[in-house]
Amino acid sequence: GDSVTQMEGPVTLSEEAFLTINCTYTATGYPSLFWYVQYPGEGLQLLLKATKADDKGSNKGFEATYRKETTSFHLEKGSVQVSDSAVYFCALSSMNTGNQFYFGTGTSLTVIP
Amino acid sequence: DAMVIQNPRYQVTQFGKPVTLSCSQTLNHNVMYWYQQKSSQAPKLLFHYYDKDFNNEADTPDNFQSRRPNTSFCFLDIRSPGLGDAAMYLCATTPGSASTDTQYFGPGTRLTVL
């Protein structure tokens, strides 16, 4: 079935470093792809999304491009801040999942000053 | 601001003592979801409502029930909580059931079972 595979963590970076969190998907159709962020003790917040191939989602300096040729939706940020420390989830939704969300396992990011 | 609200944020119950978690939304969305999230894991879908239509995931234990008395409110009832039910419970909503729809999450209720 449709699914996402997400880079294992935890990831520790220094402030202002470049961030990449890898996410690849498996789907027979045309899924929508999402990145959610979860701060400690909180619910999930949408960070960005893309609903078709070649779309780029962006928000708060984070970007991800829906690449059908590599079945990927990697999350990037050019310069991370301490406040970006959180868990990041890649997610997929498609007709094959009954339009329900399939979440990746999450990647914990810690940014140190 | 339109939002998803969960009460209480923290709930402590005793082994076997029924507990109800509450979710309300001001987004007027048709679909409401309940997820269970254990430490360092992805959220696991328990069930969802499309309007009044209830959809249970195949592997959701019978111990978990839900009610949606109106569009705005949805409840999660755990009949006889076990130690393994200690988790964060997340409520989410979407406008409809399109694959492009964003899910909007509440802040969660952290359940502790003593």
Question: Could you tell me if B40 lies within 8 Å of chain A, comparing CB atoms?
Answer: yes
Quick check: A49 and B102 CB within 8 A?
yes
Starting at the edge strand found earlier in the chain, the sheet holding B4-7 runs B4-7, B19-25, B73-78, B64-67
Quick check: A46 and B97 CB within 8 A?
no
Whether the CB-CB separation of A92 and A32 falls below 8 Å is answered with yes
Give the rounded percent of residues in chain A with a pLDDT score beyond 90.
80
Quick check: B99 and A31 CB within 8 A?
yes
* Confidence grade of residue A2 (pLDDT, cut at 50, 70, 90): confident
Q: Of A34, A45, A99, which is closest to B98 when you measure between CB atoms?
A: A99
Q: Distance of alpha carbon A61 from its chain centroid, rounded?
A: 13
Question: Could you tell me if B58 lies within 8 Å of chain A, comparing CB atoms?
Answer: no
Q: Kindly report, residue by residue over B72-111, the tens digit of the pLDDT.
A: 999 999 999 999 999 999 999 999 888 888 999 999 999 9
The residues that bridge with A111 in the sheet, in sequence order, are A13
| Closest residue in A to B43 (Cα–Cα) | A103
Closest to A88 measured CA to CA, from A55, A48, A30, A31: A48
Quick check: B110 and A95 CB within 8 A?
no
Confidence (pLDDT) at A65: 98
Q: Kindly report, residue by residue over B32-78, the tens digit of the pLDDT.
A: 999 999 988 999 999 999 999 999 998 999 999 999 999 999 999 99
Confidence (pLDDT) at A9: 85
Q: How far apart are CA B37 and CA A84, in angstroms?
A: 21
Two tokens at A16? 């202002």
Q: Of A31, A43, A46, which is closest to B90 when you measure between CB atoms?
A: A43
Estimate the share of chain B in helix, then strand, then coil, as percent rounded to the nearest 5.
Answer: 5, 50, 45
* Confidence grade of residue B1 (pLDDT, cut at 50, 70, 90): low
Q: Of B41, B99, B107, which is closest to A43 when you measure between CB atoms?
A: B107
**Residue B53 CB-half CA count within 13 A:** 6
To which H or E segment does residue A21 belong?
Answer: strand A19-21
Q: Kindly report, residue by residue over A18-73, the tens digit of the pLDDT.
A: 999 999 999 888 899 999 999 988 899 999 999 999 999 999 999 999 999 999 99
Confidence (pLDDT) at B31: 94
Give the closest-approach CA distance of B41 to chain A in angstroms: 6
Whether the CB-CB separation of A81 and A63 falls below 8 Å is answered with no
